[in-house]
Structure 1
């Protein structure tokens, strides 16, 4: 599967970032662009090349870069607060976007901000409940705390259903949002025992997810979300092993939890353990500096066949794509693609969707452009279908 492998072709697609705002800082002008690379989805009846994308919580900056790169030295007192972020434009929050892939170009057809039942636009703030360090406190440019929000979330993954609705994976809670075709959040599925903290929300709050999922690591909640071909099941994964892993079974350590859920109710149906590779096998990251198990994460998944997922496992520069079949508690992985073999693919891949049974669309997360990065899209084409045992209909 090296770059010389004729069975795989990689094409970088043309895309132009859409400017949303500019912020003047002592360190210069901060340009904010449309963020929509966290997750990708497609309906079976969508027109050819049409996909949906989700952005994350909104433009945010870690304290270190805010002080050192942007000259916001008055924020240095926040440096010791784990998980703290500066949100230069809190009003820019989670949004869906409809895209079209045509030839070697990607264009944006429409943007759909998420909103609650009152019409209030969703923001990127954490919900109430939990201590501030766990809930990743947010501050504005002056250093004032932005607090919590019932209409907030850090959206990371999305699937699109035939009835026009969406399911959106959210990292803070973690939670799953049930979103109508017009972007209104109808319900929020949360870990059992966590719903009371969201009392008063303008949407249904349902305590249906596994209680243990609330023990996610800092900034490592739900990202990967996939939908079964018949749309009856969701597959959701934590990015990393739990923060407070007290299971006695050895399989729970060094593995990410993968749950199968009822796509209509969120009820858990099954649990699997996804094993991570050794960190030193992510070559581009290892060559750039020290890496450890804490750097490993799962960023995306897509269903490629009945009970088969393609999982995006990565650190930063290196991403690996593994096919797994949900036939055992501990999953066995088959490597399909590693970006170590394709130097033209940028770091920080997060979006993944099938354009056909043998074509993938990948996207990077540019974090709303606050670090000066441009978003990138790639079409990856394979000579044979991605599903195991699917055969080659063209043969």
Structure 2
């Protein structure tokens, strides 16, 4: 059994490793066990390319969720937009030299299977394995699958230009880059996605019935876009929109996290800011009823990442939220190789509503954290319950997390559809004592 000392911090700047004893004085230490659960990736396609075969597998590690009342062996997962390659990888790894002309286009991606889009998967958990039950592709109202292509654009939000294997630009058609999933007791879903960024209500059969976007985001989409969210979300960094969503047990409240600091008032602020925004929303109307600042740890405290590369603030991300009680969340914070799971209490940390207004200056992202108290802003306090720096067998790129009980979590990595040869890996973490209280 391994041991990890939970540590509560006010600003979110983790104390260095040599301070473990001081953290342990909180009296919250405990043991845990980590098990890798057996899983076999499902092959979607094998595409011959100049430098080998591009093997594409099912992607389902962007988010995990459970519904109230679900049987103990049921789990839900969601993948992102679909298989995609950065231009550099397409050229250097697969020999697609004709795509070199696209290398200087910011955010450009290649989608080798553009008809494979966002999909929810139902899974079954056994004592030693995760089993695939069924796939539920996200659908438009007319039954056509929702694509993984960007929104047509609008407002301040930048979109990633997407090309096929021949280098032809694919027309933006109101698709989604899904990254988070929540399940309701009636079998319907909420999905969070990065392009809009948007929150989507999804029927049990996968039909998207509503899509909330920030004010100013427009486009001819199915279903029609509902601009009910604050316009400030359009300042999300490219490919750093809504990364996670959670729902209260009664379905009345949603909690959504922007993956990284907003590029607000400019990109420089998004690169250097130390906090991401978490929103609490009325699930019936989309009105944001609370905004909270989640403080990131120091980049150098992510030890596996620090040893592998020169990490910076811009690399920090929120990759998952789980609801664990009234205004209480588990947050998965990571760079790449290291992931940390924190417990946060939202009560008493709501920012003044004026900071939801895109016109408010100075923007929170541009402020020094030492000045927050002067404007009535109190970043969330964080209690660390788990770090993969203490469990080196856990795979990098964790994006999915599900609470199975007050002492058991399921974690999963994002395999990026297997394009880089990465396999999906599920892990069960069982604690000696409850960790959610």
Q: Which runs of at least 4 in structure 1 moved beyond 4 Å after TM superposition?
A: 1-6, 130-133
Map 1:15-54 onto structure 2 (within 5 A).
Answer: 15-54=39-78
How many angstroms apart in 2 are the aligned matches of 1:245 and 1:34? 38
Q: Does 1:168 align with 2:191?
A: yes
The alignment covers a number of residue pairs equal to 380
CA separation of 1:133/1:158 partners in 2, compared to 1, >3 Å: closer, same or farther?
Answer: closer
Map 1:1-395 onto structure 2 (within 5 A).
Answer: 2=2, 7-130=31-154, 134-150=158-174, 152-194=175-217, 197-199=218-220, 201-245=221-265, 253-327=273-347, 328-329=349-350, 330-388=379-437
Contact 2:156–2:216, Cα closer than 8 Å, also in 1: no
How many angstroms apart in 2 are the aligned matches of 1:17 and 1:268? 38
How many angstroms apart in 1 are the aligned matches of 2:34 and 2:99? 42
Q: Provide the secondary structure at the position in 1 that maps to 2:344.
A: strand
Aligned twin of 1:393: none
CA separation of 1:132/1:260 partners in 2, compared to 1, >3 Å: closer, same or farther?
Answer: closer
How many angstroms apart in 1 are the aligned matches of 2:178 and 2:193? 4
Q: TM-score, normalised by structure 2?
A: 0.84
Contact 1:49–1:355, Cα closer than 8 Å, also in 2: no
Superposition deviation, residue 305 in structure 1:
2.0
How many angstroms apart in 2 are the aligned matches of 1:245 and 1:278? 23
Consecutive unaligned residues of structure 1, counting only runs of 5 or more, are 389-395
CA separation of 1:167/1:133 partners in 2, compared to 1, >3 Å: closer, same or farther?
Answer: closer
Superposition deviation, residue 130 in structure 1:
4.3
Contact 2:188–2:203, Cα closer than 8 Å, also in 1: yes
Pairwise CA RMSD: 1.9
How many angstroms apart in 2 are the aligned matches of 1:24 and 1:63? 17
How many angstroms apart in 1 are the aligned matches of 2:154 and 2:213? 14
1:99-147 deviation per Cα after TM superposition (whole angstroms, max 9, x unaligned): 0111110001000101100111011100101499920110000100002
1:329-367 deviation per Cα after TM superposition (whole angstroms, max 9, x unaligned): 310111110100100000000001111121101010001
How many angstroms apart in 1 are the aligned matches of 2:109 and 2:167? 10
How many angstroms apart in 2 are the aligned matches of 1:358 and 1:307? 19
1:288-326 deviation per Cα after TM superposition (whole angstroms, max 9, x unaligned): 010100100100010122211110000000001011000
How many angstroms apart in 2 are the aligned matches of 1:92 and 1:382? 38
How many angstroms apart in 2 are the aligned matches of 1:236 and 1:289? 30
Superposition deviation, residue 202 in structure 1:
2.7
Where relative contact order (Cα < 8 A, 6+ residues apart) is larger, the structure is 2
How many angstroms apart in 2 are the aligned matches of 1:244 and 1:28? 42
Superposition deviation, residue 189 in structure 1:
0.4
CA separation of 1:285/1:94 partners in 2, compared to 1, >3 Å: closer, same or farther?
Answer: same
Contact 1:258–1:272, Cα closer than 8 Å, also in 2: yes
Contact 1:84–1:133, Cα closer than 8 Å, also in 2: no
Contact 1:81–1:133, Cα closer than 8 Å, also in 2: no
How many angstroms apart in 2 are the aligned matches of 1:186 and 1:87? 26
Contact 1:191–1:211, Cα closer than 8 Å, also in 2: yes
